[in-house]
Structure 1
């Protein structure tokens, strides 16, 4: 197994390869490692299956497969079938899960080779992330249904679904992923402060996505100008009122000091975050504390900012009303209690933050028989300071 040759080849590809070069690159790396074949599988937007990139093949389900276990646990999985070994390594860039790298080899996957597959998968993940903006092949592979224009507008502006540092992790979900219009989220970490926001525009479709797009970019502009939380609220509120006078958004705007656990936030007409501690719901945070964005100038323009102090291991769940209002044909809502219990159970089972959210979105869809009547977006923030 010539790992140095494979690593050098992938390092060179970071600078030179285009999306169309990734299939032959996988073949060359496979030969470097002495394997029989290698294929990149990308996760679809709904996070239900993996699709082979650039080669014929059927999608591989996430649930109940070695590929899915590799994706869900972040560990390499292998099995012996037909006299050869099938190895599935998770493709993870930072904390963002992209898919799995599938390798067929005649050699027994020992500790050395497993580590090599992990290294190769990490480099492939970086290449996929950097190359997907230079063509449409990666995006097309991930889409199992046509994406509506409103959803295209939102998805192209979102940060990765998952982020993690040594102190904090954030993972988000959006549904319906091919037709989301008025929901969005954002986050950034600057000088130990995690900024996080959730937006939910009134209505649906392209009009809602235009309002959300403006709010999302006004939020980033205010943050990058160094405005405090109250002035950030006022800036977004002003822009929405001027540019979309017939619309408004509810929102959560939060700041977590990762050194102290101090969490400051504004609930602009939005449901309060759920605070979970020791895998138990403590309470929802106060809501609302301000008018929805676009309506704030109708009242006192100074929003109320509430504070709480998170303890190490605490989780905050931010969500839009489409999550708890998902309902069965008989009219039974998903509800706050079911939402909190599901997340608490997943955390007690030691599921990762992104896997918890993946399973949550499918629980919501199952509850409403795959037909959501409103956008459903949620973000889970996990506080885990180094000290």
Structure 2
């Protein structure tokens, strides 16, 4: 339970007397934690001559508590059996434990109220906005507030940058933090201090990040077995073909220390022929993109079969050419274009098999060029021997796979977006953005080229080897 300001000062003075510290030693410990009052102000506070903000009082308390732990730790009486710590009742650990335990049997709709309770344990009033599937709008999970545009609001800036944004003045200061499941952007967390805590306190930002990580993970988990939060994110109807393909896709973003991968696909509520997949390990990433071309049920089914056959062969540990053969055999006469590949961080080499599809594109040092295929192989579904092409990659490279809905997009005058259009956006956005934001902006540019009326599915899959140099502390 939180102490009043005067009670906290009295207990601090009493504990300081047992801490075996001089005033100067206490100030040095407090200063090392980030305290910003000087030695004379500290002396005045201890003697009741001046107040201190809550965050400064807490850093002083932490400095004394650390010293008491040191003194007690020198000589403690052992127990006859291990003694476990009791359930925490306050602070960041209590907030995370309460949220985790409360979500154990919770339907998705209950998560916002659990988050409220966790926020109160941190001295925060919290709100949640989830990104709709076009990644254009942040939709509040509670009524009474309007949606926020991702491209024109501070909350949207937190989503785009993958980092915290501070807004407001005086009593209306709030933090906007990206809501993440791993590195998959789901929305933003809004946090407003309610106990006088300094919103610029780095410890508070860390606590908000922990809360945003855990809540984002819970959003993803509960969406697998409930519709409550998924329904909030949907702004349009999805037909059965789109429902089938979206259910088969992995998250739009994933990363390890050695590789970052991100995808975007439009129209988000009406894809019928494009799919992608990937699998990350400690030292490599496998990836694939398929385009059935046809927008009827047969095309949707062919795309789903190609994805499933590729995934099954990859799970079995087969190489690229064997994976390609498995896709050929599974399609049963249907045809699907695509690229399957693998990047090995140990060797720094990218290998790929291209089948009736645009080859991967490499962005290096601000210039974009196609990575040639080993042979002009026909689409998957036509059984043939397929060859693997290999290319060395460097730190800072970005590899892009895309479907013809991007290169073939036409404006009202019939001009195609083409590889030059993709290259322009890739060269402009990839060096300056997080990889998932660069992918989002590519599909946005394609949609704008067609005045928002996409004639074909447009999908891009971006790979940045050797890690993401643009990653923020949150992302």
Is 1:85 the counterpart of 2:173? The answer is: yes
**Distance in 1 separating the partners of 2:141 and 2:405:** 33
Structure 1, gaps ≥5 residues long: none
Q: With structure 1 as the length reference, what TM-score do the two structures score? A: 0.93
Alignment match of 1:231 (pick from 306, 322, 341): 322
Q: Residue 100 of structure 1 corresponds to which residue in structure 2?
A: 188
Q: Residue 288 of structure 2 corresponds to which residue in structure 1?
A: 197
Residue pair 2:359, 2:370 contacting (<8 A) in 1 also: no
Is 1:58 the counterpart of 2:146? The answer is: yes
Q: How does 1:111-122 map to 2 (within 5 A)?
A: 111-122=202-213
**Distance in 2 separating the partners of 1:81 and 1:360:** 35
How many angstroms does 1:86 deviate by?
Answer: 2.2
- Larger-Rg structure: 2
How many angstroms does 1:122 deviate by?
Answer: 1.1
More displaced, 161-170 or 280-289? Answer: 280-289
How many angstroms does 1:173 deviate by?
Answer: 0.8
Residue pair 1:176, 1:372 contacting (<8 A) in 2 also: yes
Residue pair 2:260, 2:467 contacting (<8 A) in 1 also: no
How many angstroms does 1:83 deviate by?
Answer: 3.1
Residue pair 2:407, 2:418 contacting (<8 A) in 1 also: yes
Q: Residue 164 of structure 1 corresponds to which residue in structure 2?
A: 255
Q: Residue 130 of structure 1 corresponds to which residue in structure 2?
A: 221
**CA deviation string 1:276-321 (max 9, x = no partner):** 11222144433764211112x2xxx211211111112211100001
Q: Residue 310 of structure 1 corresponds to which residue in structure 2?
A: 393
**CA deviation string 1:202-258 (max 9, x = no partner):** 3104321111111111101111112221111111111102xxx3x310010101112
Alignment match of 2:404 (pick from 321, 328, 334): 321
Is 1:256 the counterpart of 2:343? The answer is: yes
Task: Report the structure, 1 or 2, having the larger strand content.
Answer: 1
Q: Helix, strand or coil for the counterpart of 2:129? A: strand
Residue pair 2:374, 2:388 contacting (<8 A) in 1 also: no
Q: Residue 355 of structure 1 corresponds to which residue in structure 2?
A: 437
Q: 1:385 to 1:378 in 2, by over 3 A?
A: closer
Residue pair 1:13, 1:127 contacting (<8 A) in 2 also: no
How many angstroms does 1:14 deviate by?
Answer: 4.6
Q: With structure 2 as the length reference, what TM-score do the two structures score? A: 0.76
Residue pair 1:269, 1:288 contacting (<8 A) in 2 also: no
Residue pair 2:258, 2:282 contacting (<8 A) in 1 also: no
Alignment match of 1:368 (pick from 442, 450, 457): 450
Residue pair 1:90, 1:97 contacting (<8 A) in 2 also: yes
How many angstroms does 1:18 deviate by?
Answer: 2.2
More displaced, 74-83 or 172-181? Answer: 74-83
**Distance in 1 separating the partners of 2:430 and 2:367:** 9
Q: Residue 39 of structure 2 corresponds to which residue in structure 1?
A: none
Q: Residue 345 of structure 1 corresponds to which residue in structure 2?
A: 428
Residue pair 1:343, 1:360 contacting (<8 A) in 2 also: yes
**Distance in 2 separating the partners of 1:231 and 1:80:** 57
How many angstroms does 1:190 deviate by?
Answer: 4.1
Q: Residue 210 of structure 1 corresponds to which residue in structure 2?
A: 301
Residue pair 2:182, 2:254 contacting (<8 A) in 1 also: yes
Q: How does 1:180-195 map to 2 (within 5 A)?
A: 180-190=271-281, 192-195=283-286
Q: 1:228 to 1:99 in 2, by over 3 A?
A: same
Is 1:11 the counterpart of 2:100? The answer is: yes
Q: Residue 113 of structure 2 corresponds to which residue in structure 1?
A: 24
**Distance in 1 separating the partners of 2:369 and 2:272:** 32
**Distance in 2 separating the partners of 1:46 and 1:158:** 15
Q: Residue 159 of structure 2 corresponds to which residue in structure 1?
A: 71
**Distance in 2 separating the partners of 1:83 and 1:262:** 54
Q: Helix, strand or coil for the counterpart of 2:100? A: helix
How many angstroms does 1:385 deviate by?
Answer: 5.8
**CA deviation string 1:163-222 (max 9, x = no partner):** 111111110011111010110000012463311000000310432111111111110111
Q: 1:287 to 1:379 in 2, by over 3 A?
A: farther
Q: Helix, strand or coil for the counterpart of 1:97? A: strand
How many angstroms does 1:356 deviate by?
Answer: 0.5
Residue pair 1:71, 1:90 contacting (<8 A) in 2 also: yes
**Distance in 1 separating the partners of 2:255 and 2:467:** 12
**Distance in 2 separating the partners of 1:11 and 1:19:** 13
- Give the superposed CA RMSD: 1.8
Residue pair 1:326, 1:334 contacting (<8 A) in 2 also: yes
Aligned length: 376
Residue pair 1:266, 1:289 contacting (<8 A) in 2 also: no
